[in-house]
Structure formats: structure tokens, C-alpha cells
Amino acid sequence: MSNIPSHIAIIMDGNGRWAEARGEKRVKGHEKGAQVVRTITEYCAAHSDIKRLTLYAFSTENWKRPKLEVEFLMKLLEKHLKNELATYLDNNIRFEAIGDLSRFSNSLQKRIQETQDKTAHCDGLVQSLALNYGAKDEMVRAVNRLIVEGETVTEATLNSALDSSQAVDLLIRSGGDHRLSNFLLWQAAYAELFFTKTLWPDFSVEKLEQILDEFTTIERRFGGLK
């Protein structure tokens, strides 16, 4: 395929509904969804044209979920990072987290930092997990940072102050909903948007390849005529 997107972003929706449809607890869907994260990440890492994969893992609004589910997600995330370190290193993947990490426990913050440090030398795919992330919060934090530093707020300085400065080429949402849910609103200004009814635990490499095939047929004009 030609015209492969350099930066793919995915809203991984549908874990809870996938589990409930099977008569299981929602946490089972999150566990299955974490397995899909590995599969999709390894696929992207094998394609040199794909430079960055940003995954919406936990939003600033997700704290509103039931306490037990949030606690499980925090433990799952810490376990996931520990277990996936070998995957990152074996596939030359650099891990990074975006979002306001200050609300997480000290142990989870330490695990995130250790994973970033141990993969910092990797120069293949960047897997970016959006954690306690919201695009509005990201922009507010970026503007406040510029004000503190005495910088004039321009498009260029604001872009550089964001958690992620790379424009999104392809944004995918699983689970059937057609909204961005406060995800990478600045970076996705000219992204191609794809929505699929497939719930995240059922999302597959084959489904991603179908979307990539369709992406290659799109003429991206970025507001111009050609």
C-alpha cells in the first residue's frame, strides 16, 4: 500500500459492551481489549511508514465511572506496562504517555516513567497512550505553560506546548459511536475520520488493513483544492 498514514490515533471503544453482551463483567472486556492493543501495536511497528500510534486509554471523564471499575483499570494499566516492556523492546517501540499524569498513584506514575525511560532509545514506532487525557485540558495546560514562560500564544508555540505536537493523519473510533470525545481535537484538525461498529475487543489487523486500504484512496487537500 502507498500513502500510509504516519500518525494513527484510535478511540478504543466498546470493551464494556463486549463483555456485557457475553454475560461477563465489564472488566473482562478491558482485559481482552488490552490484548488487542498488543496485536495492533505490533502490526503498526512492522510498517516503517507508520511512525506513531496514539491510543485513547483513559480520559479525564473516565473518573466518573464506578469506583471499582476505575480501580481495576488502574491496576490493569500498571500490569499492562510491566508485561509489555518486552514487546516494546523486541519491536523497537518507544513508549510515551500523554495527559495529566499527576492524578495517578505514585506506583503507576513510577511505572509509566520507567517504561518511558527503558524504551527511550527505541527509534521505531512510538506508541503513545493517552492517560487521564482530554484535549480541552491539554490545550488549557499548554496555554498556561506558555503564559508562565512569558511566551506569546501563537499557533506554532501552542502546538509545541501540547502533550503531542504531531498532526494525526488517520483517526479511528471503534464501537459504533460517531464522536471524538475530547480526543486530540487540535492534532486531528485535518485527520481522516473512520468509524466502525466493531467493538474494540473484536477489532483486528484485518479490520485495520481494510481502513488503511480505504485511506490510500483519499485525496487529502488540507483546505486547498489539490
Helices 106-119 and 67-90 cross at an angle (nearest 10°) of: 20
pLDDT at 97: 98
Per-residue pLDDT tens over the stretch 4-20: 899 999 999 999 999 99
Catalytic residue among 3, 13, 90, 106: 13
pLDDT at 1: 45
**DSSP β-ladder status, 170-173 and 126-133:** unpaired
CATH class for the domain made up of 7-215:
alpha beta
pLDDT at 223: 65
Q: Taking a C-beta distance cutoff of 8 angstroms, is the pair 108, 88 a contact?
A: no
Is residue 98 scored above 90 in pLDDT? Answer: yes
DSSP conformational letter for 180: -
pLDDT band at 3 (very low <50, low <70, confident <90, very high): confident
Q: Is 62 a catalytic residue?
A: yes
Cα–Cα distance between 49 and 43 in angstroms, integer?
Answer: 12
Percent of the chain with pLDDT over 70: 96
The pLDDT of 126-130, averaged and rounded, is: 98
The pLDDT of 134-142, averaged and rounded, is: 97
Catalytic residue among 62, 137, 159, 182: 62
Per-residue pLDDT tens over the stretch 60-94: 999 999 999 999 999 999 999 999 999 999 999 99
The pLDDT of 28-33, averaged and rounded, is: 94
> What are 83's three cell numbers?
508485561
Is residue 117 scored above 70 in pLDDT? Answer: yes
Give the chain's mean pLDDT: 95
Per-residue pLDDT tens over the stretch 141-197: 999 999 999 999 999 999 999 999 999 999 999 999 999 999 999 999 999 999 999
Q: Is 213 a catalytic residue?
A: no
Q: Dihedral sign for Cα 51, 96, 188, 17, please.
A: positive
Q: Taking a C-beta distance cutoff of 8 angstroms, is the pair 41, 93 a contact?
A: yes
Cα–Cα distance between 138 and 101 in angstroms, integer?
Answer: 12
The pLDDT of 39-68, averaged and rounded, is: 95
The pLDDT of 29-48, averaged and rounded, is: 96
Cα–Cα distance between 186 and 9 in angstroms, integer?
Answer: 13
Cα–Cα distance between 180 and 171 in angstroms, integer?
Answer: 9
Cα–Cα distance between 116 and 34 in angstroms, integer?
Answer: 18
Is residue 2 scored above 60 in pLDDT? Answer: no
Cα–Cα distance between 67 and 166 in angstroms, integer?
Answer: 33
pLDDT at 224: 60
